[in-house]
Chains A and B, each alone.
Chain A
Amino acid sequence: MDNSRAVETTESPWSGAVSPFAISWQKLMMWVFIVTDALLFAGFLASYGFVRLASPQWPNRAEVFHLGFIGVMTFILISSSATMATAVSAARRANRTVAVRFLLLTILGGLCFLGMQAYEWTDLIQQGARLYTNPWGVPTFSASFFLITGFHGSHVLTGVIILAIVALRSARGRSTAEGVELCGLYWHFVDLVWVFIFTLFYLI
């Protein structure tokens, strides 16, 4: 038997014995989930792009939506992402009071966003928009709108629920900093998806 194999002293993360991603499995799995969930929205947005390319005309968004209102919604979600990042940083520093305070602010932002989205939906529904028809001449327009913003809104709602649980647990000292961080990753993902929806559906 040849025992004179040279020992590799490379520092490649793929050499074995350590995780190449250098993060906990919990964090890695949250990232894997984020990638799969992002592909869900990529599918919706790609199908919206397809439907839009195939339509000779498309409603003028400035006439259908109150774009300033949508801008405020975007601002609120971005701000809630900033408060979430602050909460995560505070949790890492074991500053429980600040972490919980900023978690609550994030929840407030999420609830405001949901309320505003519900208002927007109500306004459109009252004007006659449905999944299969709308007053603007292109049936797939409202179908795309309700589908994409509906799925995004349900992600925001789920995020708010998770945030509430994490805030309660943090207040009782029963959540680790990593728990807050994983929650933060999900919330930033929700904000990230909105950045794409806001640009591709409302502006372009």
Chain B
Amino acid sequence: MTKTLHEVGYGIYWSTWGLLLALTLLMLVTGYVSLPKGFVVLLLLASMLVKASLIGAHFMHLRFEKLTLVLTVAVGILATATFLFVLIAFDGIRILKLSLR
């Protein structure tokens, strides 16, 4: 059994917690300010991905794992999910156009 010997202090978890909290507040605030919809969506998606990366890297220790594992997880989830969504998104839009006719 191979041990990962990285030892980190507790501080990194609580600074990550603070960042996650700040990002969550930022995401909630977008509902109360009048900004272009497209910009808000992009901002929310970007914040979501940053939060996910922070959790994966710091809480789940992916920062210290082999790139092989990181890529297996990242590509396994994100690429598959994106591919899945894009595949059916076209059909969704087609059905919307049908219902609006």
Number of A-B pairs whose CB atoms are under 8 Å?
151
Q: For B10, list chain A residues within 8 Å (CB).
A: 86, 89
Q: For A169, list chain B residues within 8 Å (CB).
A: none
Query: Does A75 make an interface contact (CB < 8 A)?
Result: yes
Q: For B66, list chain A residues within 8 Å (CB).
A: 13, 20-23
Partner of A23, one of B4, B21, B95: B4
B interface size (C-beta, 8 A): 52
- Do B84 and A19 have beta carbons less than 8 Å apart? no
Distance in angstroms between the alpha carbons of A185 and B65 in the assembled complex: 13
Partner of A75, one of B21, B56, B96: B21
Chain B 42-58 residues near chain A, CB threshold 8 A: 44-45, 47-48, 51-52, 55-56, 58
Nearest-CB residue, chain A, relative to B6:
A92
Query: Does B72 make an interface contact (CB < 8 A)?
Result: yes
A interface size (C-beta, 8 A): 57
Distance in angstroms between the alpha carbons of A51 and B28 in the assembled complex: 24
Distance in angstroms between the alpha carbons of A37 and B31 in the assembled complex: 30
A81-B55, A85-B13, A188-B60 given; A35·B92 CB < 8 A = no
- Do A39 and B81 have beta carbons less than 8 Å apart? yes
Distance in angstroms between the alpha carbons of A199 and B52 in the assembled complex: 11
Most A CB contacts (10 A, CB to CB) among B25, B48, B99 go to: B48
- Shortest beta-carbon distance from B44 to chain A in Å: 5
- Do A39 and B96 have beta carbons less than 8 Å apart? no
A188-B55, A192-B56 given; A86·B47 CB < 8 A = no
Known A-B contacts: A82-B13, A188-B56, A203-B31. Give 7 more (CB < 8 A). A23-B4, A54-B91, A78-B20, A185-B60, A192-B52, A199-B44, A199-B47
> Which B residues are within 8 Å of any A CB, using their own CB?
1-2, 4, 7-10, 13-14, 16-17, 20-21, 24-25, 27-28, 30-31, 41, 44-45, 47-48, 51-52, 55-56, 58-60, 65-66, 68-69, 72-73, 76-77, 80-81, 84-85, 88-89, 91-93, 95-96, 99-100
Name the 4 nearest CB pairs between A and B, nearest first.
A53-B92, A42-B81, A82-B17, A54-B95
